[in-house]
Amino acid sequence: MKEKIIKVALERFMQHGIRNMTIMKLVEPLGISTKTVYKYFRSKEELLEECLQLLYTGYFNEFNLIMGNPANPIAKLLTLFRTTLEKDFGMNRDFFHDLNYYYPELQNAAINRVSERYGSVLVQLIKNGVNEGYFNKHLDPQLALKGIGILYTSITRGEEYRDYKESPYPLFSNLVEVYIRGMCTLKGITEIENNPYHQN
């Protein structure tokens, strides 16, 4: 029952945002009482923390599949961020806004867990790209990854793009992908051009 509550609660949080969701609203689809929820979770925040763990575990599983692909470093990096973008924008943007604004400690903890899992692997991926001639040889992989992360976060979580009503994919192409292109050698740029993003 605990796992079922977490799964349904995550779906409800992502569909409707966090702030306006009460425990009662979260459990409506399950047909159980709030008392049952409080048997497993002391508060809405504790339930949300478990939901974030489930969400980012799913991201990590997808990450492993992408990294296990025999594609070159550019293709892997683009696929990773494009796939994550599709997942993020499949959610109500209020979910991340509420998470950042009202539950920053939970968001920071979730980001730290993700960084621990993904960070070193992505830095190594960029190093491989440098060694294989896709990225400029003077590139600092850690700083480059941080730059990508800042731009990606700005279009998915940042206030400046919260009310952007158009497709998110031009944002990605004009910000994140342009940054990645700037990291590249001619060989890397050619690879990007051979793997265009067809979303609109």
pTM: 0.78
- d(CA 198, CA 46) in angstroms, rounded, equals 39
Residue 29 belongs to a domain: no
Give the structural domain span for 141.
45-193
92 within some domain: yes
Task: Identify whether 7 is part of a domain.
Answer: no
Tell me the pLDDT tens digit for each residue of 32-83: 988 999 999 999 999 999 999 888 888 888 888 899 988 999 999 999 988 8
Residue 2 lies in a domain: no
Please indicate, yes or no, if residue 22 is contained in any of the structural domains.
Answer: no
Count of the separate structural domains present in the chain = 1
pLDDT digits (tens, 9 = 90+) for 78-116: 999 888 888 777 666 778 778 878 888 887 787 777 777
Instruction: Report CA torsion sign: 21, 22, 23, 25.
Output: negative
Sign, CA dihedral 177-180-186-191, equals negative
Whether residue 30 lies inside any domain: the answer is no
The answer to whether residue 25 is domain-embedded is no
Q: What is the CATH number of the domain that holds 186?
A: 1.10.357
In a domain, 188, yes or no: yes
Q: Write the CB contacts of 75 (distance below 8 Å, at least 6 apart in sequence).
A: 69, 191, 195
